Amino acid sequence: MNFIDEALHNCHNGEELVQALADIYKHPDVRKKLRDYPEWINDIITIIDYDTELQMEGLDFRTYEREIQTLNNMGIFEEASVLSLISAASSDKEVEDCYSKLALNNDYDEFWNIVYSFADKNLRK
């Protein structure tokens, strides 16, 4: 049993599950097995990676297709819309403007509350 299986077995709500899945960085070998889990588990890990990347490196000049799809899956449409404006051809100013509109800089707690609710809903299925 890996740490994801343990989290699914031991967590009683979405917030506990998301916090447990944040340990993915301590278990890099599990990433190879992510395709064996439901999409919603992969979505949560994508959001954990997205948040970590933003905090450590900011936005890159790239497309955020996977993150946008995940945000839409979770109902975080405004964040997805902002990310859709960024590409490899974006200017520094465009990326800076987008960065200032992200939940990381505005309503971080509400962003995570939506993620917790998403996890909670799927955990109860």
| Nearest-angstrom CA–CA distance, 43 and 22 | 12
What is the pTM assigned to this prediction?
Answer: 0.95
pLDDT-derived band at 114 (thresholds 50, 70, 90) equals very high
Output the pLDDT for position 105.
83
- Place 125 in a pLDDT band, splitting at 50, 70 and 90: confident
Distances (CA, A) of 89 to 60, 85, 92, 124: 11, 10, 10, 42
Question: How high is the mean pLDDT of the chain?
Answer: 95
pLDDT for res 79 = 95
Q: Name the token pair of 77.
A: 């449409």
The whole domain housing 31 covers 3-123
Evaluate if residue 22 carries a pLDDT over 90. yes
Confidence of residue 1 (pLDDT cuts 50, 70, 90): confident
Q: Which amino acid is at 36?
A: D
pLDDT digits (tens, 9 = 90+) for 42-57: 999 999 999 999 999 9
Q: What is the pLDDT of residue 83?
A: 95
Quick one: pLDDT at residue 34? 96
The domain tally of the chain equals: 1
